[in-house]
Amino acid sequence: MAENVIAADKLEARLVANHFNAWMGLHIVSYTEDGIEIGMKWREEMISNPRLRITHGGIIGALIDTAADFAIAAKLGMPVPTVDLRVDYHRAAEPGDLVAKGRVVRLGGTNAVAEASVHDARDRLIASGRGVYFSAAAKS
């Protein structure tokens, strides 16, 4: 696997320059050659069903997408466009912060594949998924 080509603080600056990422309170929790962990700060507006107060699946999907994309960004120096994304929902997320763990599966010159999983504060698996990313966009 390729080495990381960007420092964690530079990558985090890129992460939160993105408005919606900033709204979700995203920040880098861990950053190694093997992958990246991105934390999310829960907020009231993320609730779906108001009675069950579980976190909206769209937020979970955005987390999977971002963690997978930034696992690739570590290797390419910048995030690249998502071609497609698959998310599997394993367990409803109760109110609270979440952590997404991203990892590169295959770094191709045109398309790359990365996967990610989302965990709650008790490290229970909330969701997992994978996407294809347009790695060629980072060449310019």
**Chain contacts with a second copy (rule: CB under 8 A):** 17-21, 23, 44-50, 56-59, 61-63, 65-66, 81-92, 105-106, 108, 110-111, 113, 125, 128-130, 132, 134, 136
CB nearer to a second copy: pick between 8 and 57: 57
Phi then psi for residue 129, to 5 deg, are 180, -175
> To the nearest whole angstrom, how small is the minimum distance from the Cβ of residue 10 to a second copy?
16
CB nearer to a second copy: pick between 99 and 132: 132
> To the nearest whole angstrom, how small is the minimum distance from the Cβ of residue 137 to a second copy?
10
> To the nearest whole angstrom, how small is the minimum distance from the Cβ of residue 82 to a second copy?
5
> To the nearest whole angstrom, how small is the minimum distance from the Cβ of residue 95 to a second copy?
11
Q: Is the separation of the CB atoms in 63 and 71 below 8 Å?
A: no
Q: Which residues are bridge partners to 130 per DSSP?
A: 86, 115
For strands 35-40 and 27-32, give the pairing. Answer: antiparallel
Q: Is the separation of the CB atoms in 106 and 113 below 8 Å?
A: yes
User: What gap in Å lies between CA 55 and CA 87, rounded to an integer?
Assistant: 15
Q: Is the separation of the CB atoms in 36 and 30 below 8 Å?
A: yes
CB nearer to a second copy: pick between 3 and 17: 17
